[in-house]
Amino acid sequence: MLDKGIVLPAHIAIIMDGNGRWAKQRGLARTEGHKRGAEVFRNICTYASRIGIKHMTFYAFSTENWKRSETEVTALMNLFRNYLFEMEEREAENESGGYCIHFLGAREGLPSDLVKLMDQAEARSANKTHMHVNIAVNYGGRAEIVHAAKLLGEQIKAGTLQPQDITEESISALLYTANQPDPDLIIRPSGEQRLSNFLIWQAAYAEFYYDDVLWPDFTPDDLDRAINAFARRDRRFGGVQQQ
């Protein structure tokens, strides 16, 4: 349960970790853990919208995840495909939920049918305003910054930008999260305590919350505990607290 009177974070990002270990503990294939994790994603997304969170980012598939077995990668792509089909089939529910969907990451390398479905989902939800849902797929924080740097280079080459005019704001405007606030709170379940190349530019002043629960067991109560912990933190952004 959320503490009374707390200020909610505007943007929560979650590293959905622990699916494989959850399955292994139960003698199941890793793919079963990912299926359960996808269900939890939907549940947490719905709950976050209900309590008034305006931006959520979920780390679904990193650029490093291509190193996993072909079977597991195929299963993950199929889960993603099924989710996109469900979004299309449940358009009325998405309409009432007001989810504006964004996909963070490189489209290159993803199956062409997935890219088409991603484009369609973003287009259908572009005017929704209740909650922005970012799904990071084929995403890496360093690759995102490299991508932005290349775009800056193109602007300089075209003569529309001078190197001395590059600012933090001009870089942020070319990231996948352009026009969205940086995450206030980054949650990583499963007991691991690292960022894993996730939103490394945007996380400059984020608060981190680690939880031992594996993602397939993550519940709205766990999210509430993370938000309550966030609300008790003293965020000074490099300044000094005024007496």
Residues 48-99 pLDDT 10s: 999 999 999 999 999 999 999 999 999 999 999 998 888 776 665 555 568 8
Is residue 5 situated within a structural domain? no
Does residue 103 have a pLDDT over 90?
yes
What is the pLDDT averaged over residues 220-243? 84
Query: Does residue 31 belong to any structural domain of this protein?
Result: yes
Q: Is the per-residue pLDDT at 243 higher than 90?
A: no
DSSP-derived secondary structure for 156-178 = HHHTS--GGG--HHHHHTTSTTT
161 is a domain residue: no
Among residues 60, 80, 79, 76, the alpha carbon closest in space to that of 68 is found at 76
**Domain with 22 in it:** 11-140+182-231
Look at strands 99-104 and 131-139 and give their pairing: parallel
Q: Tell me how many domains the chain contains.
A: 1
Residue 162 lies in a domain: no
Listing DSSP states for 31-87 in one string gives HHHHHHHHHHHHHHHHHHHHHT--EEEEEEEEGGGGGS-HHHHHHHHHHHHHHHHHH
- Which CATH number fits the domain that encloses residue 91? 3.40.1180.10
Domain assignment of residue 236, yes or no? no
Q: What pLDDT does residue 110 have? A: 95
CA distance 199 to 178: 12
pLDDT at 198 over 80: yes
Higher pLDDT, 129 or 135: 135
Catalytic residues: 17, 65
Provide, rounded to the nearest whole percent, the portion of the chain with pLDDT above 70: 94
* pTM of the model as a whole: 0.92
Residue 86 belongs to some domain of the structure: yes
Q: Is residue 112 a part of any domain in this protein?
A: yes
In a domain, 155, yes or no: no
| Amino acid (1-letter code) at residue 36 | R
